[in-house]
Chains A and B, each alone.
Chain A
Amino acid sequence: MNQKTFLAFIGPSVVMMVLFIALPLATVLKQSFYVTQPVYQTLEVETCTPTFTGQLCVKEIKTIPTIGDNGKMITQTSFVGFVNYQNVLELPRVIKAFANNSWRQFMVIDFWKALRFTLSFTLVTLPLVLSFGLIIALCINNVAKSIRGPVIFVSLLPMIITPVIGALSIRWLFIGDGILTSFLEWWLVRDISMFAQAWTIELMMMFYRVWHVAPFAAIVFYAGLQTVNQDTVESAIIDGASRWQKFRYVILPHLMPLIVFVTLIHLMDAYRVFEEVIGFSSQAHVISLQWLTYDFLTSDLMGNRSIGRASASSMLTMIGITLLLIPVLRGVWIDYKGKRL
């Protein structure tokens, strides 16, 4: 392919990527260094409001934002350097916690609490997703051809359900005297409150995520299983390889690139865990980095949002994902270079 055709082919996607990925990212990066505030004025304001018995009028000195001639609030934006990052990371408190040698003090700081959960969530679900995906794929591959279609459809169902809906369904199964909680209570003859402590909520979240994502892994692996070289499998059988050896030395190496692929996708997705926190309303016990960004963006009763801190927290999330992907990508790179040599 000559260079011109090549450029014509990739041109549109490059433009799209710049427009919809690079530019927004650059804006977020910029916003993470700025703070926008309304310009306040102090005025005496008389407000009359209803009470249960009549009306109450109060005169108060109030700090209120100034409205400009165009009817909009006047704001000023100032460069603050790394202040937003400092406010998210709260390093002085981290240092204090370490000085006191206290894991507990460290774990009550929002960002680090969220990071701890996000990382453990990602790293615990990864092997589970991979192994359940493989098991499901092998099962599908071994059922009779006639019922394979329906089996594939049924095993894909969890993935088809909208994430928030899925999380909410699991919540309703377990919250209060939900069906499954009642069943567990009857079975174990004890009172169970799944939403009363962090670890049970975390377990439910991980269970939900594995249930939701394993079908994706399964379908990818199933596609891979279709391309296993049957000659190699047959020669392995002739050589007397057991079922396990066949899997370990023929099928698994063949699936390796797909396993790496699913790992990459899952690391990226799981690090942005969010639906579970909302679905299980777990913010009192468990929060994630993405939820933290969302919380900064939520306006308070007076309409203020922390755009700056939200941007900083997004950038930190991106850095986190990159760091997590480096080992996997490095492995792929070495492998690739090795093959070329």
Chain B
Amino acid sequence: MTIKKIATTIAISLISSSVWAGCAFENNIELKSLSNSFEAMKSITESMAECGNVTSTLDVDFKDKQPEAFAANPSLYQIGGVSNGTMVPLLNAGTIRPLDDLVAKYGSQLKPSQLIKVNGQVMAIAMMVNNQHLMYREDVLSEFRIAVPTTHAEMVAAAAIIAKYDVVDYPLGGTYKAGWNLGEEFINNYLGNGGAFFGEGNAPSINNATGVATLNTMKSLTEYMDPEYLVSDSTYVQQQFQQGKIAMATLWATRAGAMDNAEESQVVGKVIMASAPMGTALPASTNWWDGLVFATNMTDEQADAAFRVAMEGIDTEMVLANNDDAVWLIDGYVAGSAAAGAIATADNGAAPYPSSSPGMGAMHTALGNGIAAFLTGEKDAATALADIEAAYTISATESGLM
């Protein structure tokens, strides 16, 4: 054996040992995970990878892939990252397994609030909560002596003042990208105004005064946004903030940490988190949780390994290293200034995302597709809402809900 070969062997063994240095055990079973892509998820999957033999796919279109991938036998992924919304199809199809025995074996670190239970069985392990709340440029607001807005009307008034001066490109930002994001904005605002989505037998009930008021509020905000708001998603709004182009926006709590990331942000320390603006009843926001699920279609051996790796991924060590990535549910988390907005929103009584209504999936899609026509002026509010109800009715009838 030449010296070169020996050196290579040593180098490789060093690499592989350092791979599981942050993990309490060495994982020998090939595991794959599929989840959404955001900062906190990156931290978790990187921490899981330290155990070795874990391949993680982080994909913003994960929700389109997950149901089919988990329905395969054997499942294409052993570990899935879900939220309260995206867990439902997996739960309905029975492709994720109950975790009670695994929790008893390996889950001593978990807090009771992390266990997602359906009819008494643990079906998922939550690690963080999330919602959309107000972020604002403290320097801009104090320069013009504007109080922190607590309602959308105040937000619009503040935007009108800021727009007169040339401090930012656009006073407001918003995750108004047509499709899922735009639907989510309506749901936040409509629930904030105390609206109900469904009547008797999953029939839609959004074409009412609350619905019209909600649409008008949204439109009044868009007047102070980048005119390209219909293509702006969370990442786009986050970048607008980081580049100092906007002064206020309602954005996900998971994006708060990025404002103070000196590598990307030009506004470090200037963006402050506050409660989501109030609707007439509740904050215009919904509470979400994110968690991990495990496939039904895998061997018990794989399930054991997958669960242990996941526990390593969401342990206190990971939280200590990535405290400001999210509002963690995990032991060791200290709520910092980045979490202030999310917690204030929850304290003000934000509702959970209504994922338990069976028609919500079809409703969210219909809203996401239908609201743009009102914002662009193609339709008036009542017509837009009536058309959304019609689109929902077709989908719900087709899937057998009505």
Listed in ascending order, the chain A residues whose CB lies under 8 Å from chain B are: 35, 37-40, 45-58, 60, 62-65, 67, 71-73, 87, 104, 107-108, 110, 175-176, 193-198, 280-285, 295, 298-304, 306, 308-309
Contacts and interface: CB of A to CB of B under 8 A. Distances in A.
B67 A299 contact: yes
A52 B342 contact: yes
Contact of B362 (A195, A281, A284, A300): A300
Contacts of A280: 231
Contact of B93 (A52, A73, A175, A198): A73
A55 B178 CA distance: 33
Contacts of B387: 108
Contacts of A54: 113
5 contacts: A45-B119, A50-B116, A52-B342, A280-B231, A302-B399
Nearest to B343: A52
Interface in B365-390: 365, 369, 372-373, 375-376, 378-379, 383, 387
Contacts of A198: 376
A283 B369 contact: yes
A194 B226 CA distance: 11
B112 A303 contact: no
B94 A67 contact: yes
Nearest to B183: A301
A277 B279 CA distance: 34
A107 B356 CA distance: 35
A300 B364 contact: yes
Contacts of B63: 299, 301
Contacts of A50: 113-114, 116, 126, 129, 289, 329
A284 B372 contact: yes
A175 B63 CA distance: 26
A308 B361 CA distance: 18
Interface centre among A195, A298, A300 (most CB of B within 10 A): A300
The 3 closest A-B pairs by CB, nearest first: A303-B89, A302-B361, A37-B400
A113 to B, nearest CB: 9
Contacts of B372: 283-285
Contacts of A56: 352
Interface stretch (B27-35, B80-88, B148-156): B80-88
A186 to B, nearest CB: 15
A66 to B, nearest CB: 10
Contacts of B120: 46
B188 to A, nearest CB: 15
B53 to A, nearest CB: 27
Contact of B117 (A48, A87, A303, A309): A48
Nearest to A181: B228
Given A52-B327, A108-B379, A193 B118 contact: no
Contacts of B178: 281, 283-284
A76 B373 CA distance: 35
B231 A193 contact: no
A71 B202 CA distance: 26
Given A55-B113, A298-B365, 7 more contacts: A49-B289, A195-B230, A281-B177, A285-B230, A300-B364, A301-B86, A309-B398
A49 B352 contact: yes
B401 A35 contact: no
A302 to B, nearest CB: 3
Interface in B44-75: 63-64, 67, 71
Contact of A46 (B117, B202, B399, B400): B117
A87 B394 contact: yes
B361 to A, nearest CB: 3
Interface in B228-275: 228, 230-231, 236
A238 B113 CA distance: 93
Contacts of B296: 71
Contacts of B116: 47-50
B305 interface: no
A303 B67 contact: yes
Contact of A281 (B93, B231, B360): B231
A55 B362 contact: no
B316 interface: no
A158 B63 CA distance: 33
A30 to B, nearest CB: 17
A114 B378 CA distance: 15
Interface string B155-192: 00000000000000000000001110010000000000
A49 B231 CA distance: 32
A57 B117 contact: yes
B299 to A, nearest CB: 15
Given A49-B84, A299-B89, A302-B92, A195 B231 contact: yes
Nearest to A201: B231
B199 interface: no
A72 B297 CA distance: 11
Contacts of A73: 92-94
B395 interface: yes
A38 B93 CA distance: 10
B102 interface: no
Nearest to A104: B378
Interface centre among A37, A49, A56 (most CB of B within 10 A): A49
B73 to A, nearest CB: 9
B355 interface: yes
Interface centre among B90, B296, B343, B376 (most CB of A within 10 A): B376
B93 A303 contact: yes
Contacts of B399: 37-38, 302, 304
Nearest to B130: A52
B266 to A, nearest CB: 14
Nearest to A55: B113
B287 interface: yes
Contacts of A53: 346
A193 B226 contact: yes
A302 B64 CA distance: 10
Given A63-B202, A193-B226, A285-B372, A300 B361 contact: yes
A301 B361 contact: yes
B114 A301 contact: no
Contacts of B289: 49-50
B228 A196 contact: yes
A45 B123 CA distance: 13
Given A38-B399, A283-B369, A303 B92 contact: yes
Contacts of B212: none
Nearest to A76: B400
Interface in B286-314: 287, 289, 296
B19 interface: no
